[in-house]
Amino acid sequence: MSLIVQKYGGTSVGNVDRIKNVASRVAKTKAEGNDVVVVVSAMSGETDKLIGLANQISERPDEREMDMLLSTGERVTIALLAMALNEMGVPAVSFTGRQSGIITDSAHTRARIKSIDGGRISQAVKAGKVVIVAGFQGITEDSNVTTLGRGGSDLTAVAVAAALKADFCDIYTDVDGVYTTDPNIVQKARKLDKISYDEMLEMASLGAKVLQTRSVEFAKKYDVPVRVLSSFHDVPGTLVTKEDSSMEKVVVSGVAYDKNQAKITVADVPDKPGVAAKLFNTISGSKIIVDMIIQNIGRDGITDISFTVPKSDLKTILPVIKSAAKEIGAADVVVNEDISKVSIIGVGMRSHSGVAAKMFNALAADGVNIMMISTSEIKVSCVIEQKYTELAVRALHDAFGLDKA
Amino acid sequence: MSLIVQKYGGTSVGNVDRIKNVASRVAKTKAEGNDVVVVVSAMSGETDKLIGLANQISERPDEREMDMLLSTGERVTIALLAMALNEMGVPAVSFTGRQSGIITDSAHTRARIKSIDGGRISQAVKAGKVVIVAGFQGITEDSNVTTLGRGGSDLTAVAVAAALKADFCDIYTDVDGVYTTDPNIVQKARKLDKISYDEMLEMASLGAKVLQTRSVEFAKKYDVPVRVLSSFHDVPGTLVTKEDSSMEKVVVSGVAYDKNQAKITVADVPDKPGVAAKLFNTISGSKIIVDMIIQNIGRDGITDISFTVPKSDLKTILPVIKSAAKEIGAADVVVNEDISKVSIIGVGMRSHSGVAAKMFNALAADGVNIMMISTSEIKVSCVIEQKYTELAVRALHDAFGLDKA
């Protein structure tokens, strides 16, 4: 008998019939002798519908109120799923983020979990109930409702699993596991049996939308075994777990891409100490994730600084950057939304050389120009013109032989 | 400068434009130098939509989960209204039932308010903010979400007004006040300038849907001056207040009707002490409101007991009544849904005689048969065949000269 946390996304609970299907799956897991805690998202489309309403009222709605609004989506789903289980004779109870003891900071619309008191969940589980937890939401210490940002339900699931010391955190999605790359682009993409936290982290942060980044970080920190599974087909998924020696033998595990980045260039920046620091201090105050920072070699006492940010944050960050640019005496701020980032990922890179060169060669062979490069221990990313994305992904998947196990 | 609690129902916040209109009205009241606390319902249609979802899952959904589900409707509206006010430069903050300190008993879907701690609202008001409170909902002492039943937002408004000792509780509706009867039936129906709590209570409980019954009881208990106003037209409404001497001069203030009652007859009940008590003890355990109880004169040691209940409660109460009927040795339970209740109401009845006779005469003159009669100090009600409802209401409005001030 295990304690299993299951998470179902918006598509899996997209209508009443699907909610009933989820209930059956939960009931089956319970009938097999497991304790089950379920985390659910809002029904697909609901969050966007609510955002639409808010945007009809304000271009930049008050963020505390946005959280009040968006948190309703998950509450609808937890109630309906609990009803469905009770209707099947499986005792179930729904808990909001607050009732689940999820305390966050007060960064509305992108709050971070500070602590979870799993007491109330544990108590209900011990009483034989399936507990349904609202994903994506928490509460501040002074009792305001917060949300965890897009994909936050994954984080809720992993955090609840960590707090309860669950045996598995099963993330049910509309794909049946983690693939070497997007199967919509590369037909020969192959499902991975397992992947390390670090690789998954790079995959997630680079736009493979299977798992939300912070949830993987959380899983890594608390060593929560996460399984990515299909909510529609009963097939083995992918286990996200600690790195082991078998993983290191594979140089590249996957190819990821991200079309949702924009490149911002702050042009003609005075090339002297402290200028970049001033710029990024200002930006970091806005809590927006900046990636791939590159500073050109200075000429004539001036230089350019480029970096990428999520496109969705452009509206928020551009005024900040423009005022910061003015302050540091830069000439111009140029935005390019027509880019994408392609990346190769693998823990094996640590012990293999020449990986980046092989990547650049593969791209060059297909005539893809590289605009920016960044590397970490286990990944190499290139920013390219967006129209080349699919071509580049296929070239890299081939070059590193990812179709073969 | 006054402290005013304003309540807007589902129609008044039925879409984004209407929410903006409400925001303008609130902003105007605030700009006139008043402190404003706003209570809102769910957008019209939303609650029914949620109930529809629940009913697709279960014929009798778990009531705790039903409350979790339904409480989301008001949360959407409070967030949107707070956004709209903030967008207009009027600082506003939304509070859920819990955040407003509304503690209820645990009778899910029809909870009663036990206490309100208005501290958090007061604090925000003192900080210059408009506070938007989610109507219809509260929280139990052990932290489960509850709802107050249909029309519960009126109750929230009055209860908040009482807790804050507000100068007025303004209930904005889609009518512009309390009328002598339903203007859709009687063209000559006249708007009342003021009405006593007791009269309003009878009007509300008898099916005049302007104010929810419990909210009027609450207003009476805590002496909250309630104004019924139109959310669409800027015209004087009706003040619901303490009885005064001018009110007593009017014998009948209004004619009410209610088509949503059903008549239940428990037939051939043994005519001995304690039997009726046993029956109604069982029913009262279900917390359903039973009205107009009539017991026939017994013959041959048996009798019939008839009473009315809201049609919407039939499904819940029938099994209870049937089992209770069996227990007390009754022969049969007969339901008649084809009835309606017409009533005349007025505090002046206390000091005038012959009112009931005048009512029966007026009905008889138009050939309306009376099936049941019940009276209180300030009202006389008759159950009649439903098809005669409009005829009866018009006859009574005429007979008591209600078109004349």
* pLDDT confidence band for B270 (50 / 70 / 90): confident
* pLDDT confidence band for B277 (50 / 70 / 90): confident
* pLDDT confidence band for B91 (50 / 70 / 90): very high
CATH code of the domain made up of A263-336:
3.30.2130.10
Alpha-carbon distances, residue A361 vs A96, A294, B115 (angstroms)? 51, 22, 72
Q: Which residue has the tokens 């968006």?
A: A70
To the question of domain B3-174 being in CATH 1.10.357.10, the answer is no
For B130-188, what is each residue's pLDDT tens digit? 999 999 999 999 999 999 988 899 999 999 999 999 999 999 988 889 999 998 899 99
Closest residue by Cα to residue A264 from A194, A333, A195: A333
Residue A58: its chain B contacts at CB < 8 A? Answer: 83-84, 86-87
* pLDDT confidence band for B214 (50 / 70 / 90): confident
**Three-state SS string across B70-132, please?**
HHHHHHHHHHHHHHHHHHCCCCEEEECCCCCCEEECCCCCCCCEEEECCHHHHHHHHCCCEEE
**Do B190 and B402 meet the contact criterion of CB atoms below 8 Å apart?**
yes
Superfamily of chain region A339-399: VC0802-like (3.30.2130.10)
Q: What is the pTM of this model?
A: 0.80
| Torsion sign over Cα B14, B19, B21, B23 | positive
pLDDT (tens digit, 0 to 9) for every residue of chain A, 405 residues total? 899 999 999 999 999 999 999 999 999 999 999 999 999 999 999 999 999 999 999 999 999 999 999 999 999 999 999 999 999 999 999 999 999 999 999 999 999 999 999 999 999 999 999 999 999 999 999 999 999 988 899 999 999 999 999 999 999 988 889 999 998 899 999 999 999 999 998 887 766 677 888 899 999 999 999 999 988 888 999 999 998 888 878 889 999 999 999 999 999 988 887 888 888 888 877 777 788 888 777 778 888 889 999 998 899 889 989 988 998 888 899 999 999 999 999 998 887 878 889 999 999 999 999 988 888 889 999 999 999 999 999 999 999 999 987
- Chain A positions with Cβ closer than 8 Å to B: 16, 19-20, 50, 53-54, 56-58, 61-62, 64-66, 68-69, 71-72, 75-76, 78-80, 82-84, 86-87, 93-94, 96, 98-99, 143-145
Nearest to B58 among A66, A75, A87 (CB): A87
Would the CATH topology of A263-336 be identical to that of A339-399? yes
3-class DSSP state of A289: coil
pLDDT average, residue stretch B232-236 = 87
CA distance to partner chain B, nearest, from residue A392 (Å): 44
User: For position B376, what pLDDT does the model report?
Assistant: 85
For B23-42, what is each residue's pLDDT tens digit? 999 999 999 999 999 999 99
User: For position B202, what pLDDT does the model report?
Assistant: 86
ipTM value for the complex: 0.78
Q: For chain B, what are the domain ranges?
A: 3-174
Asked if the Cβ–Cβ distance from B82 to A66 is below 8 Å, we say: no
Closest residue by Cα to residue B97 from A213, A68, A199: A68
In sequence order, which ranges of A118-231 are alpha helices (DSSP H)?
Answer: 119-126, 152-164, 197-205, 213-222
Asked if the Cβ–Cβ distance from A75 to B56 is below 8 Å, we say: no
